[in-house]
Protein backbone atom coordinates (compact mmCIF):
# COMPACT_ATOMS: atom_id res chain seq x y z
CA UNK A 1 0.00 0.00 0.00
CA UNK A 2 1.31 3.45 -0.95
CA UNK A 3 2.28 5.57 2.06
CA UNK A 4 1.11 9.18 2.48
CA UNK A 5 4.47 10.70 1.49
CA UNK A 6 4.73 8.41 -1.53
CA UNK A 7 1.20 9.35 -2.64
CA UNK A 8 2.03 13.05 -2.38
CA UNK A 9 5.24 12.58 -4.41
CA UNK A 10 3.30 10.62 -7.03
CA UNK A 11 0.73 13.43 -7.21
CA UNK A 12 3.48 16.03 -7.70
CA UNK A 13 5.31 13.85 -10.26
CA UNK A 14 2.10 13.50 -12.28
CA UNK A 15 1.66 17.29 -12.33
CA UNK A 16 5.26 17.77 -13.47
CA UNK A 17 4.73 15.19 -16.20
CA UNK A 18 1.55 16.95 -17.34
CA UNK A 19 3.38 20.27 -17.68
CA UNK A 20 6.37 18.68 -19.40
CA UNK A 21 4.04 16.91 -21.84
CA UNK A 22 2.69 20.26 -23.02
CA UNK A 23 6.23 21.66 -23.41
CA UNK A 24 7.38 18.64 -25.40
CA UNK A 25 4.41 18.33 -27.78
CA UNK A 26 2.89 21.78 -28.29
CA UNK A 27 5.10 24.07 -30.42
CA UNK A 28 3.00 27.05 -29.31
CA UNK A 29 4.14 26.63 -25.70
CA UNK A 30 7.06 28.94 -24.87
CA UNK A 31 7.51 28.56 -21.11
CA UNK A 32 6.26 26.68 -18.06
CA UNK A 33 4.74 29.87 -16.68
CA UNK A 34 2.75 30.45 -19.86
CA UNK A 35 1.51 26.84 -19.77
CA UNK A 36 0.46 27.05 -16.13
CA UNK A 37 -1.36 30.34 -16.59
CA UNK A 38 -3.05 29.90 -19.97
CA UNK A 39 -3.60 26.23 -20.90
CA UNK A 40 -7.17 25.19 -20.12
CA UNK A 41 -6.37 21.55 -20.88
CA UNK A 42 -3.70 21.57 -18.19
CA UNK A 43 -6.05 23.35 -15.76
CA UNK A 44 -8.66 20.63 -16.31
CA UNK A 45 -6.13 17.83 -15.72
CA UNK A 46 -4.73 19.46 -12.58
CA UNK A 47 -8.22 19.93 -11.12
CA UNK A 48 -9.07 16.36 -12.09
CA UNK A 49 -6.08 15.12 -10.12
CA UNK A 50 -7.27 17.04 -7.05
CA UNK A 51 -10.83 15.75 -7.54
CA UNK A 52 -9.60 12.16 -8.03
CA UNK A 53 -7.60 12.37 -4.80
CA UNK A 54 -10.78 13.40 -3.00
CA UNK A 55 -12.72 10.65 -4.77
CA UNK A 56 -10.41 7.85 -3.64
CA UNK A 57 -10.55 9.28 -0.10
CA UNK A 58 -14.36 8.78 -0.19
CA UNK A 59 -15.18 12.48 -0.46
CA UNK A 60 -17.35 11.88 -3.50
CA UNK A 61 -19.56 14.95 -3.26
CA UNK A 62 -16.64 17.32 -2.81
CA UNK A 63 -14.83 15.61 -5.68
CA UNK A 64 -17.83 16.21 -7.96
CA UNK A 65 -17.97 19.87 -6.89
CA UNK A 66 -14.33 20.29 -7.93
CA UNK A 67 -14.89 18.51 -11.25
CA UNK A 68 -17.98 20.59 -12.04
CA UNK A 69 -16.09 23.78 -11.25
CA UNK A 70 -13.37 22.58 -13.64
CA UNK A 71 -16.03 21.99 -16.29
CA UNK A 72 -17.40 25.50 -15.79
CA UNK A 73 -13.91 27.01 -15.97
CA UNK A 74 -12.46 25.02 -18.88
CA UNK A 75 -15.32 23.43 -20.84
CA UNK A 76 -13.73 20.02 -20.16
CA UNK A 77 -15.62 17.41 -18.14
CA UNK A 78 -13.58 14.70 -16.42
CA UNK A 79 -15.35 12.51 -13.89
CA UNK A 80 -13.23 12.23 -10.71
CA UNK A 81 -13.59 8.45 -10.82
CA UNK A 82 -11.67 8.18 -14.10
CA UNK A 83 -8.11 6.86 -13.92
CA UNK A 84 -5.52 8.89 -15.84
CA UNK A 85 -1.81 8.20 -16.15
CA UNK A 86 0.97 10.76 -16.35
CA UNK A 87 1.65 13.17 -19.18
CA UNK A 88 -1.89 13.59 -20.53
CA UNK A 89 -2.16 16.48 -23.01
CA UNK A 90 -5.62 17.84 -23.81
CA UNK A 91 -4.94 20.21 -26.69
CA UNK A 92 -7.43 23.11 -26.99
CA UNK A 93 -9.75 20.90 -24.98
CA UNK A 94 -13.19 22.48 -25.24
CA UNK A 95 -15.96 19.88 -25.25
CA UNK A 96 -13.86 16.95 -24.02
CA UNK A 97 -15.84 14.45 -21.89
CA UNK A 98 -14.22 11.60 -19.94
CA UNK A 99 -16.54 9.17 -18.13
CA UNK A 100 -16.38 7.69 -14.64
CA UNK A 101 -14.87 4.30 -15.51
CA UNK A 102 -12.61 5.52 -18.32
CA UNK A 103 -8.91 4.74 -18.02
CA UNK A 104 -6.12 6.60 -19.83
CA UNK A 105 -2.52 5.44 -19.97
CA UNK A 106 0.66 7.51 -19.98
CA UNK A 107 1.51 10.26 -22.50
CA UNK A 108 -1.82 10.29 -24.34
CA UNK A 109 -3.05 13.16 -26.52
CA UNK A 110 -6.70 14.23 -26.81
CA UNK A 111 -7.94 17.03 -29.05
CA UNK A 112 -11.08 19.15 -28.65
CA UNK A 113 -14.50 17.53 -28.70
CA UNK A 114 -13.32 14.03 -27.76
CA UNK A 115 -15.73 11.81 -25.82
CA UNK A 116 -14.70 8.74 -23.84
CA UNK A 117 -18.21 7.60 -23.05
CA UNK A 118 -20.57 4.69 -22.63
CA UNK A 119 -23.35 3.25 -24.76
CA UNK A 120 -25.95 3.03 -21.99
CA UNK A 121 -26.02 -0.78 -22.29
CA UNK A 122 -23.22 -1.67 -19.88
CA UNK A 123 -22.97 -1.77 -16.09
CA UNK A 124 -19.88 -1.50 -13.92
CA UNK A 125 -17.04 -0.84 -16.37
CA UNK A 126 -18.87 1.32 -18.95
CA UNK A 127 -16.19 3.48 -20.56
CA UNK A 128 -13.13 2.80 -22.71
CA UNK A 129 -9.53 2.16 -21.69
CA UNK A 130 -6.76 3.90 -23.63
CA UNK A 131 -3.29 2.42 -23.56
CA UNK A 132 -0.06 4.43 -23.52
CA UNK A 133 0.79 6.98 -26.24
CA UNK A 134 -2.70 7.00 -27.78
CA UNK A 135 -3.75 9.94 -29.96
CA UNK A 136 -7.45 10.80 -30.35
CA UNK A 137 -8.36 13.38 -33.00
CA UNK A 138 -10.84 16.22 -32.58
CA UNK A 139 -14.49 15.26 -32.39
CA UNK A 140 -13.81 11.53 -32.07
CA UNK A 141 -16.16 9.42 -29.96
CA UNK A 142 -14.97 6.23 -28.24
CA UNK A 143 -17.97 4.50 -26.72
CA UNK A 144 -17.97 1.32 -24.64
CA UNK A 145 -15.89 -0.72 -22.18
CA UNK A 146 -13.17 -1.91 -24.56
CA UNK A 147 -9.48 -1.12 -24.99
CA UNK A 148 -7.65 1.08 -27.46
CA UNK A 149 -4.13 -0.37 -27.60
CA UNK A 150 -0.78 1.33 -27.03
CA UNK A 151 0.29 3.70 -29.79
CA UNK A 152 -3.09 3.67 -31.54
CA UNK A 153 -4.41 6.69 -33.44
CA UNK A 154 -8.09 7.62 -33.74
CA UNK A 155 -8.87 10.00 -36.61
CA UNK A 156 -10.91 13.18 -36.20
CA UNK A 157 -14.69 12.60 -36.00
CA UNK A 158 -14.33 8.81 -35.89
CA UNK A 159 -16.87 6.83 -33.88
CA UNK A 160 -15.14 3.85 -32.27
CA UNK A 161 -17.43 1.08 -31.01
CA UNK A 162 -15.03 -1.85 -30.65
CA UNK A 163 -11.46 -2.65 -29.62
CA UNK A 164 -8.57 -1.08 -31.52
CA UNK A 165 -5.32 -3.14 -31.51
CA UNK A 166 -1.98 -1.53 -30.61
CA UNK A 167 -0.26 0.68 -33.21
CA UNK A 168 -3.34 0.84 -35.43
CA UNK A 169 -5.14 3.79 -37.02
CA UNK A 170 -8.95 3.84 -36.96
CA UNK A 171 -11.07 6.18 -39.09
CA UNK A 172 -14.69 6.61 -40.15
CA UNK A 173 -18.21 6.11 -38.81
CA UNK A 174 -18.28 3.47 -37.51
CA UNK A 175 -14.49 3.36 -37.24
CA UNK A 176 -12.46 0.87 -39.28
CA UNK A 177 -8.80 -0.10 -38.98
CA UNK A 178 -6.92 1.34 -41.96
CA UNK A 179 -3.31 1.09 -40.77
CA UNK A 180 -1.46 -1.44 -38.64
CA UNK A 181 2.12 -0.82 -37.57
CA UNK A 182 2.37 1.95 -40.14
CA UNK A 183 1.23 -0.21 -43.07
CA UNK A 184 -2.00 0.43 -44.97
CA UNK A 185 -4.65 -2.27 -44.57
CA UNK A 186 -6.32 -3.80 -47.62
CA UNK A 187 -9.68 -2.22 -48.42
CA UNK A 188 -12.08 -1.64 -51.27
CA UNK A 189 -10.51 1.72 -52.14
CA UNK A 190 -6.81 2.30 -52.72
CA UNK A 191 -6.81 5.95 -51.67
CA UNK A 192 -7.90 5.33 -48.08
CA UNK A 193 -5.78 7.17 -45.50
CA UNK A 194 -6.10 8.76 -42.08
CA UNK A 195 -6.35 12.30 -43.45
CA UNK A 196 -9.12 11.75 -46.00
CA UNK A 197 -11.54 10.01 -43.69
CA UNK A 198 -13.69 7.49 -45.58
CA UNK A 199 -17.44 7.63 -46.00
CA UNK A 200 -18.74 4.07 -45.39
CA UNK A 201 -21.42 4.53 -48.09
CA UNK A 202 -18.79 5.69 -50.59
CA UNK A 203 -16.66 2.67 -49.68
CA UNK A 204 -19.55 0.29 -50.35
CA UNK A 205 -20.22 1.99 -53.70
CA UNK A 206 -16.53 1.67 -54.56
CA UNK A 207 -16.58 -2.06 -53.80
CA UNK A 208 -19.81 -2.52 -55.77
CA UNK A 209 -18.30 -0.75 -58.81
CA UNK A 210 -15.29 -3.06 -58.69
CA UNK A 211 -17.50 -6.13 -58.49
CA UNK A 212 -19.59 -4.90 -61.44
CA UNK A 213 -16.42 -4.27 -63.45
CA UNK A 214 -15.24 -7.83 -62.77
CA UNK A 215 -18.66 -9.26 -63.74
CA UNK A 216 -18.75 -7.18 -66.94
CA UNK A 217 -15.30 -8.42 -67.86
CA UNK A 218 -16.36 -12.01 -67.22
CA UNK A 219 -19.49 -11.62 -69.35
CA UNK A 220 -17.41 -10.09 -72.11
CA UNK A 221 -15.00 -13.03 -71.99
CA UNK A 222 -17.88 -15.51 -72.12
CA UNK A 223 -19.45 -13.70 -75.12
CA UNK A 224 -16.17 -13.90 -77.02
CA UNK A 225 -16.06 -17.64 -76.45
In order along its 225 residues, the chain shows pLDDT tens digits of 344 444 445 767 777 888 888 888 888 888 888 888 888 999 999 999 999 999 999 999 999 999 999 999 999 999 999 999 988 999 888 899 999 999 999 999 999 999 999 887 778 899 999 999 999 999 999 999 999 999 999 999 999 999 999 999 999 888 888 888 777 765 544 444 444 455 555 666 777 877 888 888 888 888 887
User: How far is the C-alpha of 65 from the C-alpha of 53, rounded, in Å?
Assistant: 13
pLDDT at 202: 61
* Per-residue model confidence (pLDDT) at position 199: 54
Residues 6+ apart with CB under 8 A from 112: 91, 92, 93, 94, 95, 96, 138, 139
Q: How far is CA 77 from the centre of its chain?
A: 14
- What is the fold of 4-185? UDP N-Acetylglucosamine Acyltransferase; domain 1 (2.160.10)
- Say if pTM beats, i.e. exceeds, 0.85: no
Distance (Å, rounded) from C-alpha 133 to C-alpha 25? Answer: 12
Kindly list the distances between the CA atom of residue 104 and the CA atoms of 3, 68, 109, 141, 158, in Å, as whole numbers in the listed order: 23, 20, 10, 15, 18
- Give domain limits for the chain: 4-185, 186-225
User: What strands, in cross-sheet order, belong to the sheet with 109-110?
Assistant: 89-90, 109-110, 135-136, 153-154, 168-171, 176-180, 183-184
Q: Which residues, other chains included, contact 119 with Cβ-Cβ below 8 Å and sequence gap of 6+? A: 126, 143, 144, 161
Residues in CB range of 58: below 8 A, 6 or more apart: none
How long, in residues, is the chain?
225
Amino acid sequence: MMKKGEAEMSFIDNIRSDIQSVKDRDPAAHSSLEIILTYSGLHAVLMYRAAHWLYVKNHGTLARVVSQFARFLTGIEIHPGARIGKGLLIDHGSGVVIGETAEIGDNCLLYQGVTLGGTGKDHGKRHPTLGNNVMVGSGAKILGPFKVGDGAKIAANAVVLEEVPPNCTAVGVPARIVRRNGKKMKSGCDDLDQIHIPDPVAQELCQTKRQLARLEQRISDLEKR
